């Protein structure tokens, strides 16, 4: 075991929640004290260690204290209790931008920023080209940074932060801003820094990214550390929490809705009377394991539509990624309708080829030529939980297997 | 938090390079976007000078002291010798007080010793001040005041004044970060301080006059020349006049006065700053 590069020991940080913003002398003098406020612990007794050369992620919902913790590590905020020990040169890139001066050019800001991070002019001279080319801003380096797009701003900040050869790198929520190509290069740069022994602490809401770059993940909830461990496990655990919260919220909303709408006065009856997922045994469900069978059941009122219907289904991941769209390919004839005039269509998936994540089914009923939409059902959320095969990430499960044999000479 | 020694990169050496960069940035910011650029640093005091000369020597007929031993007898020069150090002080105080709020983006995003911000504001005004002093020295030479041998003393006095001003800057800048409307108070206090110091009016104006100004039934006018000696800026202003206008070495008392006020100012400013520094990022 290598020694810890970062030790966070019982760190707590409180903020004042002002009921009225008093930052003026007048109000201070008039009220005889510095305004009324409530104390609020943004971090409460957080302890963990980061091994030298490892990458650790901080996750948690908005306001859980991730940025606050990172700022304490970067010495920008002073914890009210506990201590943080970091061995080595720290470089931090915190939420959007690295503190550039808007009126100065990119070039001047690079020098200024690097000297803030503790580099001498000579050292910056040596790395200047690397910094600029990594950021991909050669053409804009002499324009004032106020004219940069937010992505460009972050790229330059990130580029400076990683090129000062930090021993400990702190990054907050920046990877999501760059474009696809930049994200790829950052990932490469991360890998390179890791190889050179740099310890990285990263905050991100992109859980897939956390899974892939971090060895360990810390889960924060309301300023408290609730879990720490292997990245995959903790991310799944977090998704579990999120799911439970969402369920509770949805149930509450439904209850509220029901209370609002008197039952004897039904709202307009939708054309789709049923849109649900069924598990292996035919029970309605909203979770599915990777590689398990899953059935989507749709029931609609064919009589009210009065013409053949083409049923179209799509899956999106909640971050917007489009997984698949499909439809019946033909119009389902009126004759299929049962006695009550409704048609039930099942779409059977023998083995769900999706990876862990939160997805949504969408449903639309079209006419045969797909020119007109009769009805679009509310999206149906479902969670995919890990299957048996753990060592994979991404969107789909190809279902393949590895076969090894000696080479044929 | 752990001791500084465990984080070698920044805390170990004073970031002189950073200080220099920030000072340059201030200077560039000050002059970059104006057509006249550095010219402002001369035009400003000249306009000031013309106005005050007109009001005081023509309208109010204030008689400046005769330079002793230089023999120079000119209100404008007498005034500007005192006015330049004052503008340095007041610009520095106002500039440094704004430096933390103006750079809050930096303070909230990166760790570095925050004192470099007010310090760089002071240094950038020091640069302007030195230029102005240079111009003044040339003008004095032209009217026949041989100031050249006195310039080393000017530098020593300037060093003491800079220390004094830096202390004020370190005291006021974090206070202004905590209380935003300190700004107004600072401006008012500077105004009062300016007029309470014999910068545009000679103290001799009050000596041996029968003017009265009663406070609680007591005429305070005769006490002013004595009281004024406890105003640190008075000592500095008079020291500049000693070496530039009169061409004499300031008295020992004056040197002591400057030394003591510079030391006290730096100590208090440094202590206050150190105490308020850790929470600047969240108060801004
Ligand atoms: N300077 C401050 N003054 C007062 N409250 C603050 C300050 N900075 C943060 N907070 C509060 O501390 C809590 C934690 O904030 P923090 O920025 O650490 O959350 P986070 O986990 O980074 O959230 P996000 O995912 O949105 O980035 C929030 O409730 C926030 O309102
Ligand atoms: Mg955050």
The string of pLDDT tens digits covering residues A115-135 is: 877 778 888 899 899 889 988
Q: Where does residue B281 rank: exposed (0-12), middle (13-18), buried (19+ CB within 10 A)?
A: buried
What is the pLDDT averaged over residues A380-403? 82
**A234 and A285 co-located in one domain:** no
B9 belongs to a structural domain: no
Q: Share the mean pLDDT of chain A.
A: 84
Confidence category of residue A21, pLDDT binned at 50, 70, 90: low
**A276 and A346 co-located in one domain:** yes
> Would you say B270 and B119 are in contact if contact means Cβ atoms under 8 Å apart?
no
> Would you say A383 and A239 are in contact if contact means Cβ atoms under 8 Å apart?
yes
A294: Cβ contacts below 8 Å, ≥ 6 apart:
A277, A278, A279, A288, A348, A349, A352
B10 belongs to a structural domain: no
**A13 and A72 co-located in one domain:** yes
What is the pLDDT averaged over residues A23-36? 60
A189 belongs to a structural domain: yes
> Would you say B259 and B163 are in contact if contact means Cβ atoms under 8 Å apart?
no
Contact B181 A98 (CB under 8 A): no
Tens of pLDDT along A131-167?
899 888 888 988 888 888 878 888 888 888 888 888 8
**Which residue range forms the structural domain that includes residue A72?**
4-89+166-239
Q: Which residue of B has its CA nearest to A166?
A: B9
The H or E element containing residue A274 is strand A272-278
Nearest to B110 among A87, A92, A111 (CB): A92
A112 belongs to a structural domain: no
- Using DSSP, state whether A407 is helix, strand or coil: coil
Q: Which residue of B has its CA nearest to A79?
A: B1
Closest by alpha carbon to A56, among A214, A232, A169?
Answer: A214
A130 belongs to a structural domain: no
Percent of chain A predicted with pLDDT > 70: 89
User: How far away, in angstroms, is A29 Cα from ligand 2 center?
Assistant: 34
A291 belongs to a structural domain: yes
Q: What is the CATH number of the domain that holds A345?
A: 2.70.50.60
Contact A94 B17 (CB under 8 A): no
User: How far away, in angstroms, is A57 Cα from ligand 1 center?
Assistant: 17
How would you classify residue A290: left for phi > 0, otherwise alpha for psi between -120 and 50, otherwise beta? beta
**A79 and A192 co-located in one domain:** yes
**A232 and A301 co-located in one domain:** no
Contact A97 B109 (CB under 8 A): yes
Q: What's the CA gap between B268 and B271, in Å, rounded?
A: 5
- CA angle B168–B174–B180, rounded 5-degree value: 110
> Would you say A347 and A296 are in contact if contact means Cβ atoms under 8 Å apart?
yes
- Give the residue whose CA is nearest to atom 5 of ligand 1: A15
B216 belongs to a structural domain: yes
User: How far away, in angstroms, is A62 Cα from ligand 2 center?
Assistant: 7
What is the pLDDT averaged over residues A7-19? 86
The two three-digit tokens of residue A25, written as one number:
């002398």
Q: What is the CATH number of the domain that holds A34?
A: 3.40.50.300
Tens of pLDDT along B62-100?
777 887 888 888 888 888 899 999 999 999 999 999 999
Residue A274 has pLDDT above 80, yes or no: yes
How many domains is chain B partitioned into structurally?
1
Please choose from A13, A21, A44, A66 the residue to mutate so as to test ligand 1's pocket, defined by most ligand atoms within 8 A of CB: A66
Closest by alpha carbon to A36, among A16, A9, A61?
Answer: A16
B3 belongs to a structural domain: no
Contact B179 A28 (CB under 8 A): yes
A123 belongs to a structural domain: no
B142: Cβ contacts below 8 Å, ≥ 6 apart:
none
Q: What's the CA gap between A106 and A291, in Å, rounded?
A: 50
Question: Could you tell me if the CB of B17 is within 6 A of ligand 1?
Answer: no
B84 belongs to a structural domain: yes
What is the pLDDT averaged over residues A31-43? 72
Q: What is the DSSP letter of B242?
A: I
Residue B178 has pLDDT above 90, yes or no: no
Nearest to A87 among B6, B32, B107 (CB): B6
> Would you say A279 and A288 are in contact if contact means Cβ atoms under 8 Å apart?
yes
A179 belongs to a structural domain: yes
B8 belongs to a structural domain: no
Question: Could you tell me if the CB of A204 is within 6 A of ligand 1?
Answer: no
**A378 and A280 co-located in one domain:** yes
**A233 and A344 co-located in one domain:** no
Q: How many interchain CB pairs under 8 A, A with B? A: 97
B54 belongs to a structural domain: yes
Q: What's the CA gap between A55 and A217, in Å, rounded?
A: 9
Q: Where does residue B258 rank: exposed (0-12), middle (13-18), buried (19+ CB within 10 A)?
A: buried
Higher pLDDT, B4 or A370: A370
pLDDT on residue A91: 84
Query: Of the given ranges (B3-7, B79-83, B168-172, B272-276), which has the lowest mean pLDDT?
Result: B3-7
> Would you say A207 and A237 are in contact if contact means Cβ atoms under 8 Å apart?
no
**A229 and A293 co-located in one domain:** no
**Which residue range forms the structural domain that includes residue B159?**
17-26+38-283
How many domains is chain A partitioned into structurally?
2
A304 belongs to a structural domain: yes
B6 belongs to a structural domain: no
Residue A200 has pLDDT above 80, yes or no: yes
Residue B5 has pLDDT above 50, yes or no: no
Confidence category of residue A221, pLDDT binned at 50, 70, 90: very high
**A355 and A221 co-located in one domain:** no
Residue A349 has pLDDT above 90, yes or no: yes
Q: For ligand 2, a single-atom ion, which residues have Cβ within 5 Å?
A: A 67
The H or E element containing residue A9 is strand A4-18
What is the pTM for the complete model shown?
0.73
- Using DSSP, state whether A286 is helix, strand or coil: coil
**A229 and A275 co-located in one domain:** no
Q: For chain A, how long is the longest CA-to-CA vector?
A: 91
Ligand 1 atom closest to Cα of residue A203: 22
Closest by alpha carbon to B233, among B190, B274, B270?
Answer: B190
What is the pLDDT averaged over residues A380-397? 82
A154 belongs to a structural domain: no
pLDDT on residue B34: 61
**A279 and A344 co-located in one domain:** yes
Residue with tokens 């220099």: B20
Nearest to A98 among B6, B103, B109 (CB): B109
What is the pLDDT averaged over residues A69-75? 91
Residue A263 has pLDDT above 70, yes or no: no
Ligand nearest A220 Cα, by number?
A: 1
Tens of pLDDT along B90-130?
999 999 999 998 888 888 888 888 999 999 999 999 998 99
**A303 and A364 co-located in one domain:** yes
Residue A35 has pLDDT above 60, yes or no: no
């Amino acid at each position: 075991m290598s020694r810890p590069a970062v030790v966070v020991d019982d760190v707590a940080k409180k903020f004042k929640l002002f009921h009225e913003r008093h930052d003026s002398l007048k109000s201070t003098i008039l009220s005889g004290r510095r305004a009324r406020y409530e104390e609020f612990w943004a971090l409460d007794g957080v302890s963990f260690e980061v091994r030298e050369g490892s990458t650790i992620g901080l996750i948690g919902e908005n306001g859980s204290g991730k940025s606050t913790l990172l700022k304490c590590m970067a010495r920008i905020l002073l914890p009210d209790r506990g201590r943080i020990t970091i061995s080595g040169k720290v470089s931090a890139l915190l939420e959007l931008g690295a503190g550039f001066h808007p009126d100065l050019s990119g070039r001047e800001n690079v020098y200024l920023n690097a000297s803030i991070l503790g580099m001498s002019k000579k050292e910056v001279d040596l790395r200047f080209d690397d910094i600029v080319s990594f950021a991909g801003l050669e053409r804009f380096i002499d324009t004032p940074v106020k004219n940069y797009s937010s992505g460009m701003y972050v790229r330059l900040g990130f580029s400076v932060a990683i090129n000062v050869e930090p021993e400990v790198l702190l990054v907050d929520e920046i990877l999501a801003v760059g474009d696809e190509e930049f994200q790829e290069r950052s990932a490469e740069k991360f890998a390179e820094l890791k190889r050179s022994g740099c310890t990285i602490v990263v905050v991100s809401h992109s859980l897939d990214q956390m899974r892939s770059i971090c060895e360990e993940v810390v889960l924060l909830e309301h300023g408290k550390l609730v879990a720490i461990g292997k990245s995959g496990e903790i991310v799944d655990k977090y998704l579990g929490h999120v799911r439970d919260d969402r369920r509770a919220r949805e149930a509450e909303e439904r209850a509220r809705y029901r209370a609002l709408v008197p039952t004897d006065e039904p709202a307009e009856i939708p054309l789709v009377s049923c849109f649900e997922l069924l598990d292996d045994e035919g029970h309605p469900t909203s979770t599915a394991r990777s590689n398990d069978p899953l059935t989507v059941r749709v029931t609609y009122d064919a009589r009210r539509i009065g013409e053949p219907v083409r049923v179209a289904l799509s899956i999106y991941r909640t971050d917007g990624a489009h997984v698949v769209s499909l439809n019946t390919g033909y119009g389902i004839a009126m004759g299929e309708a049962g006695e009550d005039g409704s048609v039930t269509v099942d779409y059977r998936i023998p083995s769900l080829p999706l990876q862990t994540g939160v997805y949504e089914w969408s449903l639309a009923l079209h006419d045969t030529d797909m020119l007109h939409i009769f009805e679009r059902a509310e999206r149906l959320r479902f969670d995919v939980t890990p299957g048996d095969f753990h060592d994979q990430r991404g969107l789909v499960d190809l279902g393949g297997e590895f076969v090894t044999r000696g080479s044929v000479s | 938090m752990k001791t500084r020694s465990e984080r070698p990169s920044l805390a170990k050496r004073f970031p002189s390079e950073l200080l220099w960069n920030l000072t340059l940035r201030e200077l560039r910011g000050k002059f970059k976007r104006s057509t006249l650029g550095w010219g402002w640093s001369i035009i400003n005091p000249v306009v000031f000078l013309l106005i005050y000369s007109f009001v005081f020597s023509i309208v109010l007929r204030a008689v400046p002291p005769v330079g002793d031993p230089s023999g120079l007898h000119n209100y404008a020069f007498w005034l500007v010798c005192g006015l330049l150090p004052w503008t340095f002080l007041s610009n520095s105080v106002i500039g440094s007080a704004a430096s933390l709020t103006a750079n809050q983006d930096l303070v909230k995003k990166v760790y570095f010793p925050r004192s470099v911000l007010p310090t760089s504001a002071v240094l950038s005004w020091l640069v302007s001040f030195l230029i102005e002093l240079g111009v003044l020295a040339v003008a004095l030479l032209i009217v026949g005041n041989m100031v050249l041998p006195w310039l080393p003393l000017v530098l020593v006095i300037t060093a003491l004044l800079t220390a004094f001003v830096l202390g004020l800057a370190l005291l006021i800048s974090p206070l202004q970060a905590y209380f935003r409307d300190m700004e107004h108070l600072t401006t008012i206090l500077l105004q009062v301080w300016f007029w309470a110091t014999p910068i545009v009016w000679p103290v001799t104006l009050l000596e041996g006059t029968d003017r009265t100004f009663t406070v609680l039934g007591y005429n305070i006018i005769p006490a002013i020349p004595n009281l004024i000696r406890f105003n640190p800026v008075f000592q500095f202003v008079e020291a500049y006049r000693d070496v530039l206008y009169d061409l004499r070495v300031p008295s020992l008392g004056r040197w002591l006065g400057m030394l003591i006020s510079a030391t006290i100012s730096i100590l208090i400013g440094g202590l206050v700053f150190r105490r308020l520094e850790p929470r600047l990022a969240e108060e801004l």
